[in-house]
Amino acid sequence: MSISSTESASTAARPVPNGRWFHILMPIMILCIVSYMDRTNIGFAIPGGMNKDLAMSSSFAGFAAGIFFIGYLFLQVPGGHLASRGVAKKFLTWSMVAWGIISILTAFITSETQLIVLRFALGVAEGGMLPVALTMIAQWFPNEERGRATAIMIMFVPIANIVSGPIAGAVIENFGWRNLFLIEGIGTFFLILPWVLMVTEDPAKAKWISEAERDYIVGHLKAEQEELARNPVVRNASLMTIMATPAMWKLIVMNFFYQTAIYAFVIWLPTVIKTLTQTNMAGVGWLSMLPYVGTMIGMYLFGRLSDKSGNRKKYVILPLLGLALSLLFSVLLKDNVWLSFGCLVLAGAFLQAAASVFWTIPPLLFSASVAGGARGVINALGNLGGFLGPYLMGILKDAFGSTDYGVLALVAFLGISVLITASLPIRSDGTHA
């Protein structure tokens, strides 16, 4: 063996530096945590006095919570496109400013109309966040790491709920629901400076990164794109072209029904817990933490198993089935308060586990030039389920006096998601069929 080949083998054997896991993942996670708290704190405000102060019915409360996702549509695709063109950082910085202001204004509303307008505006302000963040993850983490990186990033959902539950419960119990929006809105502005200082979009331009880490990222991402280019389905495809493919619409519809279940669960969980356990808002806040502790475990476990096996479809389907069964038994066992609550905690373990794996699928089907826009379309249309879920739960609660029928509807939606996922054109080794 020559000296050069020995040196090459030695270099290959060295562990790759992992600065990207802190410098990129950490600020993105914190940003996502705050935005998620801002969009879901209405779930605590509704049973915490907002419904009485604004004289809201359950169906209107669900509509107000869900209208966020209509506004959420508008910047999904533009956000994904802008992220692919190197302006993700600026886009998310101005998004933070906008949603911080909107949250503060929500503290001063006096009518249902004002609530609807501000919830819609908040959806617009946050609309580009997820496709932009996912595009940044795809730019920094090769496919063999992307499942774990995406799982860690999407842990902002359980972390936000774990943090916001006790905080929201305590603030509402002691200071009222208006101060919840005020405090969270002001808190957003403290994040802007760390975000601006830490984040770089392009691995080739980052000043803090080592040469070994840069070569690893750039080399692996280049190899991915070369592999995709060999597939005639995705080579030189435009966003309009992939919009005409069955795979794209399967991803959209599957995500729609999945998000219907997720956001119905998140928005109505405090109300369900309050009704089930008959505790005060501070107690509801603490109890609402427990399902999301399970969410963190489930997300990391399924993301890791997915990366290890390469079988993306399998590790989307299994958590969807687990979530459906847990929700079903939470209704069937409702006469036993703590068994029913235990099923809700178990549902939390499966709640977001499929999402971390799901978002690794678009880069396997579409080239980098359109993957950002594809994520935007999938997230935008799929997240209309975020409108349907809370609103449907509210309608059925008004109609039947209970959330049980709404939960059973979510079980059916999850079953549809399972069937669609099983038909996606991806082999068990994670390659395009």
Is residue 222 one of the residues assigned to a domain?
no
pLDDT in tens, 319-355: 999 999 999 999 999 889 999 999 999 999 999 899 8
Quote the pLDDT of residue 238. 62
Confidence tier at 129 by pLDDT (50, 70, 90)? confident
Quote the pLDDT of residue 371. 66
**pLDDT: which is higher, 242 or 416:** 416
Q: Across the chain, what does the average pLDDT equal?
A: 84
Is residue 314 one of the residues assigned to a domain?
yes
Does the pLDDT value for residue 365 go beyond 90? no
Confidence tier at 104 by pLDDT (50, 70, 90)? very high
pLDDT in tens, 65-83: 999 989 988 887 777 777 7
Confidence tier at 6 by pLDDT (50, 70, 90)? very low
Q: What is the mean pLDDT of residues 236-240?
A: 60
Is residue 390 one of the residues assigned to a domain?
yes
Is residue 284 one of the residues assigned to a domain?
yes
Is residue 225 one of the residues assigned to a domain?
no
CB 71 within 8 A of CB 124: yes
Quote the pLDDT of residue 361. 82
Q: What is the mean pLDDT of residues 147-153?
A: 79
Q: What is the mean pLDDT of residues 112-140?
A: 89
> Please, what's the b/e burial string for 381-395 (b: 16 or more CB within 10 A of its CB; e: otherwise)?
bbbbbbbbbbbbbbb
Is residue 221 one of the residues assigned to a domain?
no
Quote the pLDDT of residue 394. 92
**pLDDT: which is higher, 226 or 428:** 226
Bridge partners (DSSP) listed for residue 432: 426
Quote the pLDDT of residue 154. 75
Does the pLDDT value for residue 37 go beyond 90? no
Q: What is the mean pLDDT of residues 347-375?
A: 80
Chain length of the chain: 433
Q: What are phi and psi of 432, to 5 degrees?
A: -65, 130
Is residue 297 one of the residues assigned to a domain?
yes
Half-sphere exposure of 397 (CA within 13 A, CB side): 20
Q: What is the 3-state secondary structure (H, E, C) of the chain?
A: CCHHHHHHHHHHHCCCCCHHHHHCHHHHHHHHHHHHHHHHCHHHHHHHHHHHHCCCCHHHHHHHHHCHHHHCCCCHHHHHHHHHCCCHHHHHHHHHHHHHHHHHHHCCCCCHHHHHHHHHHHHHHHCCHHHHHHHHHHHHCCHHHHHHHHHHHHCHHHHHHHHHHHHHHHHHHHHCHHHHHHHHHHHHHHHHHHHHHHCCCCCCCCCCCCHHHHHHHHHHHHHHHHHHHCCCCCCCCCHHHHHCCHHHHHHHHHHHHHHHHHHHHHHHHHHHHHHHHCCCHHHHHHHCHHHHHHHHHHHHHHHHHHHHHCCCCHHHHHHHHHHHHHHHHHHHCCCCHHHHHHHHHHHHHHHCHHHHHHCCCHHHHCCHHHHHHHHHHHHHHHCCHHHHHHHHHHHHHHHHCCCHHHHHHHHHHHHHHHHHHHCCCECCCCCEC
CB 352 within 8 A of CB 299: yes
- Residue 288, domain CATH: 1.20.1250.20
pLDDT in tens, 105-124: 999 999 999 999 999 999 99
Quote the pLDDT of residue 330. 93
Does the pLDDT value for residue 202 go beyond 80? no
Confidence tier at 231 by pLDDT (50, 70, 90)? low
Confidence tier at 307 by pLDDT (50, 70, 90)? confident
Does the pLDDT value for residue 225 go beyond 50? yes
- Please say whether the dihedral angle defined by the alpha carbons of residues 291, 25, 135 and 185, taken in this order, is positive or negative: positive
Does the pLDDT value for residue 429 go beyond 60? no
Is residue 102 one of the residues assigned to a domain?
yes
Does the pLDDT value for residue 432 go beyond 70? no
Quote the pLDDT of residue 5. 42
Number of domains in the chain: 1
pTM above 0.85, yes or no: no
What's the rounded Cα separation, in Å, for the pair 162 and 326? 20
Does the pLDDT value for residue 13 go beyond 90? no
Does the pLDDT value for residue 259 go beyond 80? yes
Give the residue numbers spanning the domain of 302: 25-200+240-422
Name residues whose C-beta falls within 8 Å of residue 230's C-beta, 6 or more positions apart in sequence: none
